[in-house]
Amino acid sequence: MKKLLMLGECMVEMAAAEGGLYRQGFAGDVYNTAVYLKRSLKTPAQVGLLTAVGDDAMSEAMLARFRAEGLDNRHCYQLAGAMPGLYLIEVDENGERNFLYWRSQAAARQLVRCIEEDNGAAFSGTDLLLFSGISLAILSAEHRALLLGRLKALRAQGATLVFDPNYRAKLWGKEEAAHWLAQAYGCADIALPGLEEHQLLWGQQSPEQAADFLTGLGVKELVIKQGPERLFVNGQYLAVTPAEQVVDTTAAGDSFNGGYLAARLDGQSPLEAAKLGAALARRVIGYRGAIIEQSQWA
Ligand code: ADP
């Protein structure tokens, strides 16, 4: 059975609900992708998070959630006295959603220390590893460099490395992000960015320009997302079928990634996989929150 690892942070989510109440869940880009990948895969595989959590009640509940989603927890480091990060989604008077984060002390920021103390044991036997710009943004520069070194070694051993830059201006400056995201692309076989972040960070205005940049960095397979407009899959455009109703676009890109990778692992071509990823993302944005509840999935 293949070992698929999603490296990064999962947070406690508090989403505004009716009557001034908040609904508590768990979310985070690589976790969202892990859930949709696991749910979509036809070929059995071990899908797990490579992350760090604490030993508090919320961390325990998070790990229980991972298990309930069929995810493998053996590479979730549990740190005594630490807690997970938290974010809150509030809706303002204009119906616009705002995200507030409490994540500076999150256990996941210590992930690279855990990996290093274990001498990279978590990577052993990995067939595919997905990481994102958020996985990197929450780390110190020293830890980013250590991690990318480990990922290069893993790739040299034959693992497939997948990267989504998921640029978040709140987490780091433009120049810093542009530097590290380019380094990360240099470790990746498959890239799954959005065109907008390439426009912002490197001034590339078209998918073709972004694709040239990525190919130059050694990326072999790429899908460039352009929201509701279109996808650019290894040089070919694919139209996106607009969603009938957009309820909440949270995790559109993450679910696309999950559906895309599941289809690729099940043997589909990149173009077919992109169609399946887009169909899944279109479904996800019809629901509130990042994760479609299990009861509504089947
Ligand atoms: P993110 O900002 O989360 O990365 P994007 O806006 O790039 O997400 O969208 C990711 C994918 O979700 C798109 O490539 C597309 O397949 C799908 N998608 C996004 N918006 C729509 C929409 N309005 N209708 C249908 N599909 C959509």
Distance CA 288, CA 250 (A): 8
Distance 59 CA to ligand 1 centre (A): 30
Res. 89 pLDDT band, cuts 50 70 90: confident
Residue 159 pLDDT more than 90?
yes
Distance CA 122, CA 23 (A): 33
Residue 95 pLDDT more than 80?
no
- Two tokens, residue 155: 């790739």
Q: Is 270 in the pocket of ligand 1 (CB under 6 A)?
A: no
Annotated catalytic residue 164: no
Distance CA 164, CA 244 (A): 26
Res. 86 pLDDT band, cuts 50 70 90: very high
Contact 151, 187 (CB under 8 A): yes
Res. 94 pLDDT band, cuts 50 70 90: confident
pLDDT for 29:
97
Distance CA 44, CA 212 (A): 35
Q: Is 243 in the pocket of ligand 1 (CB under 6 A)?
A: yes
Q: What tens digit of pLDDT does each residue of 254-275 get? A: 999 999 999 999 999 999 999 9
- Two tokens, residue 61: 């509940």
Q: Which of 256, 284, 287 to mutate to test the pocket of ligand 1 (most atoms within 8 A of CB)?
A: 256
Please list, in sequence order, all residues whose beta carbon lies within 8 angstroms of the beta carbon of residue 119, skipping any fewer than 6 positions away.
none
Q: Is 148 in the pocket of ligand 1 (CB under 6 A)?
A: no
pLDDT for 61:
98
- Which domains are delineated in the chain? 2-296 (3.40.1190.20)
A 10 A CB-CB count for 161 gives 22
If you search the block for the tokens 């001498």, which residue do you land on?
119
Tell me the pairing of strands 160-164 and 128-132: parallel
Q: Is 167 in the pocket of ligand 1 (CB under 6 A)?
A: no
Res. 247 pLDDT band, cuts 50 70 90: confident
pLDDT for 289:
85
Distance 6 CA to ligand 1 centre (A): 21
Laid out side by side, the sheet with 230-233 consists of 76-78, 45-53, 2-7, 128-132, 160-164, 190-191, 221-226, 230-233, 236-239
DSSP 8-state assignment for residue 35: H
Residue of 14, 34, 22 whose CA lies nearest to 251: 34
Q: Is 228 in the pocket of ligand 1 (CB under 6 A)?
A: yes
Q: Which residues of 35-62 are buried (b: 16+ CB within 10 A; e: fewer)?
A: bbbbbbbeeebbbbbbbbbbeeebbeeb
Which ipTM value was assigned to this complex? 0.98
Q: What tens digit of pLDDT does each residue of 136-148 get? A: 999 999 999 999 9
pLDDT for 224:
98
126 vs 246 pLDDT, higher one: 126
Q: What tens digit of pLDDT does each residue of 27-76 get? A: 999 999 999 999 999 999 999 999 999 999 999 999 999 999 999 999 99
If you search the block for the tokens 């070919």, which residue do you land on?
236
Q: Give the mean model confidence (pLDDT) for residues 93-113.
A: 90
pLDDT for 165:
98
**Model's pTM, two decimal places?**
0.97
Res. 96 pLDDT band, cuts 50 70 90: confident
Distance CA 62, CA 46 (A): 18
Going by CA atoms, what residue is nearest to atom 21 of ligand 1?
228
Res. 92 pLDDT band, cuts 50 70 90: confident
End-to-end CA distance of the chain: 24
